[in-house]
Amino acid sequence: MIDRFATMVATFFWVGNARWAPGTMGSIAAAPVGWAMLEFGGKPALLTGVLIASLLGWWAASRHMRVRDRRDDPQEIVIDEAAGLWIGYLALPDAGWAGCLAGLVLFRVIDIWKPGPIGWADRRLKGSLGVMVDDLMAGMLAALLLGGGYWMMEQWA
């Protein structure tokens, strides 16, 4: 029962079992959830979602990897994408669809590209910590770039 719950969390309600691009599918599935938290609960709800997804995801990824005897960063674990995407959404001024779409695309580009310290974390950190940290860092960079983009638009408007 606990193992099934851990797999459900780790795969973000089994979305991570998608045959094609599970990380992208997990991010796409997490986008409307992040939008709803931001729209109906504001940034406090979204931040709470990030914290829960990060902590529960860390535990679930560890349990899933141990039960399945998996190492490194199994593709089916996508709770890290949800948490990272939602970190990016924290920089949005509101829950508008354009900002959420921009955040989704920007997060995926950064998560796939893994520039600088994000790539270092992906290569060096192992276990469930390694699964989570690179995506959380990608979300932080996405938030920084999204926030900077919104700030620049305000200055030029």
Across the chain, which has 157 residues, the per-10-residue mean pLDDT values are 96 98 98 98 99 98 92 92 99 95 99 98 95 98 97 91
Which two tokens mark 53?
Answer: 């997804």
Interacting residues of 33 by C-beta distance below 8 A, sequence separation 6+: 49, 82
Query: Would you state the pLDDT for residue 62?
Result: 96
**8 A C-beta contact, residue 48 and residue 101:** no
Model confidence, pTM: 0.97
pLDDT for 61 equals: 98
Cα 77 to its chain centre, rounded Å, is 11
Give me the pLDDT at residue 88, please.
99
Q: What total number of domains does the chain contain?
A: 1
Distances (CA, A) of 18 to 13, 14, 34, 67, 71: 11, 8, 20, 20, 19
- Residue 88 CA to residue 65 CA, distance in Å, equals 26
In which domain, by residue range, is 99 found?
2-153
- Is residue 60 within 8 Å of 131, Cβ to Cβ? no
What CA–CA distance (Å, rounded) separates 36 from 99?
Answer: 13
Q: Which two tokens stand for residue 119?
A: 């790539």
- Using CA atoms, how far residue 97 sits from 19, 35, 104, in Å, is 27, 8, 10
DSSP assignment string, 17-28:
G-SS-HHHHHHH
| Per-residue model confidence (pLDDT) at position 13 | 98
